[in-house]
Structure 1
Amino acid sequence: MGDLDGKVAIVTGAGQGVGQGIALALAGAGASVAVLGRTESKLARTCELVRERGANAAPFGCDVTDLDAIPGLVADVVSAMGGVDILVNNAYSGLFGPLLSMKDNDFQRGFRSGPFATFAFMKACHPHLAERGGNIINLVTSAMVRWDPSNYGAYAAAKQAIRSLTRTAAAEWGPDGIRVNCIAPHALSPSLEAWAEARPAEAAEFRKTIPLRYVGDCEQDIGEAVAMLVGPQARYLTGATIPLDGGQADF
């Protein structure tokens, strides 16, 4: 028996990387997982891995920047899977670079896929989470508190908005039995892994800035922590930002 037996989780951006790691860890704890993302083949692979862990999974094609489609998508998940107990807002699509290099559309895309989409999913899931006593985990970043956020300004701004939204929802929705928390993960995603392989010397120096001296595993270090945060062990925790970065950032 797992801590999340009988629960249904929505995980956005679950086709790879951190989203996939979270989906697999939730499945390992017993949850059924609605696997959301843009690439059909990646969603199918995550669903296959979830089922190997003995949990139910279903893929749902989703571009989180299509805000008008989100309420209907949540309704489809509820119809197919019987409800929603856990929402993980992981998907993000934005650019990095100096502020003056950022086109308006690129900057706005980060907000559409970040706080706008996060809020749309939170609002659509609220009645279902309130009915069952649910959890929301929103992903943010240590770039919000970097001593030098150069090249991360648009990303950090979008994520800081999500952090504020999380804190407000925790205060307003606590009486509804909904807990809302953020994590700021540092994990070996496919893009980071490719960079480390292409630039091993830089990657080695980067790891030295992490007190635990390694970049987190998407499932074991990030996903398992999320499974704990949405489980009964953390039932009194809400409105918090949890750094899952090996001690690198100062929150």
Structure 2
Amino acid sequence: MSLLWLKKIPSELGFAIKILLNLHFPGPVKMFFRKFVLRNIIIMNINGKNAIVTGGGRGLGKAVALALANEGVHVAVTGRNEENLKNTVEEIKALGVNAAYAVFSMDNESEVKTGIESLVKQLGSVDILINNAGIGDFGSIEEMPSETWEQVIKTNLFGVYYAAKAVHPFMKANGQGDIVNVASTAGLKGGPNMSAYAASKAAVVSLSQSMMAEWRKQNIRVITLTPSTIASDMSIQGGLTDGNPDTVLQPEDFAEWVRDILKMNRRALIANGSIFSTNP
């Protein structure tokens, strides 16, 4: 039997249902209400919302896009590789929701603003921004060219800033929204041969905390996530992990985490959080 109808129960009925549970119903009836009804009142339904996922053509971004689409969220993805974006859009549409894409570089404010506005127009609105796009060039301070170091900062830091600034007017007008800024544990503690990446992610953490402080009064939840190494294309190609699915975090693990955070009741805000492989 389908239980999708339970997700449509207004939260205002929660109190009445709790009273019913205190009446003398048979044990199985109470168990049903606790397991299926109350759970869907506490957990927010994100079906029908509109999301933009930057860097959504592959890796973590694609995994999050598909996880949201599985929940009935209409999803737009951005990136620089149009072929990857087209493939992702087809997979999203196959799940029965609307999808769109835009090709632009995160280090160009004009492109980001134009691209985001185009996607909002295609979706109809924007409720969720997953600020995921980023690059990872690694090397020693001594050997890495300054131009490369600067590009990492421009993409990883300014890209987050540009995208959030572009969606903010729409969320403010709607009276609510969710922005998930993807940083890294490297932003909490730097290491050798990752100065550019670590510095960019540390800056994202601080930027995201400032966003949260400014925008939470507008009912916009800004969430800062600092995942450890995940078996993404970037991590594997950069030699950070072998990506062993038995021991190393997979993109799908991260996507499930993001999905569950977004489904929390709007009175709750996960300001920041980290996720690690148990025993890599």
Tell me the TM-score normalised to structure 2 length.
0.77
Which of 216, 225, 244 is equivalent to 2:249? 216
Pairs within 5 Å for 1:231-250: 231-233=263-265, 235-240=267-272, 242-247=273-278
DSSP 3-state at the match of 2:274: strand
Q: Which residue number in structure 1 is paired with residue 261 of structure 2?
A: 229
Q: Which residue number in structure 2 is paired with residue 26 of structure 1?
A: 68
Cα-to-partner distance string for 1:213-245 (whole Å, 9 max, x where unaligned): 6212212x11111111122346412432x1122
Distance change (3 Å), C-alpha of 1:126 and 1:248: farther
Cα-to-partner distance string for 1:60-107 (whole Å, 9 max, x where unaligned): 112112222111112111111111111111111241111111222111
Q: Which residue number in structure 1 is paired with residue 21 of structure 2?
A: none
Pairs within 5 Å for 1:50-89: 50-89=92-131
Distance change (3 Å), C-alpha of 1:32 and 1:237: same
Pairs within 5 Å for 1:17-166: 17-132=59-174, 133-146=176-189, 149-166=191-208
Take 1:203 and 1:95, find their aligned partners in 2: how far apart are those partners? 17
Following TM superposition, by how much is the alpha carbon of 1:191 offset from its aligned partner in structure 2, in angstroms? 4.2
Letter matched to residue 174 of structure 1: R
Cα-to-partner distance string for 1:109-166 (whole Å, 9 max, x where unaligned): 11111111111111111111123310111111112334x6001111010000000011
DSSP 3-state at the match of 1:100: coil
Question: Is the 8 Å Cα contact of residues 177 and 221 (structure 2) preserved in structure 1?
Answer: yes
Question: Is the 8 Å Cα contact of residues 170 and 238 (structure 1) preserved in structure 2?
Answer: no
Following TM superposition, by how much is the alpha carbon of 1:40 offset from its aligned partner in structure 2, in angstroms? 1.2
Distance change (3 Å), C-alpha of 1:37 and 1:245: same
Letter matched to residue 78 of structure 2: L
Letter matched to residue 111 of structure 2: A
- Which region of structure 1 is more displaced relative to structure 2, 104-113 or 159-168? 104-113
Question: Is the 8 Å Cα contact of residues 138 and 196 (structure 2) preserved in structure 1?
Answer: yes
Take 1:194 and 1:116, find their aligned partners in 2: how far apart are those partners? 24
Question: Is the 8 Å Cα contact of residues 13 and 20 (structure 1) preserved in structure 2?
Answer: yes
Question: Is the 8 Å Cα contact of residues 94 and 106 (structure 1) preserved in structure 2?
Answer: no
Take 1:170 and 1:98, find their aligned partners in 2: how far apart are those partners? 33
Give the structure, 1 or 2, with the largest relative contact order (CA under 8 Å, sep 6 or more). Answer: 1
* The structure with more radius of gyration: 2
Take 1:195 and 1:103, find their aligned partners in 2: how far apart are those partners? 17
> Which stretches in structure 1 are left out of the alignment for 5+ residues?
none
Take 1:248 and 1:176, find their aligned partners in 2: how far apart are those partners? 40
Tell me the TM-score normalised to structure 1 length.
0.85
Letter matched to residue 212 of structure 2: A
> Which stretches in structure 2 are left out of the alignment for 5+ residues?
8-44
Question: Is the 8 Å Cα contact of residues 213 and 246 (structure 1) preserved in structure 2?
Answer: no
Letter matched to residue 188 of structure 2: V
Between the two proteins, the alignment pairs up a number of residues equal to 236
- Which region of structure 1 is more displaced relative to structure 2, 39-48 or 224-233? 224-233
Distance change (3 Å), C-alpha of 1:74 and 1:100: same
Aligned-residue Cα RMSD (Å) equals: 2.5
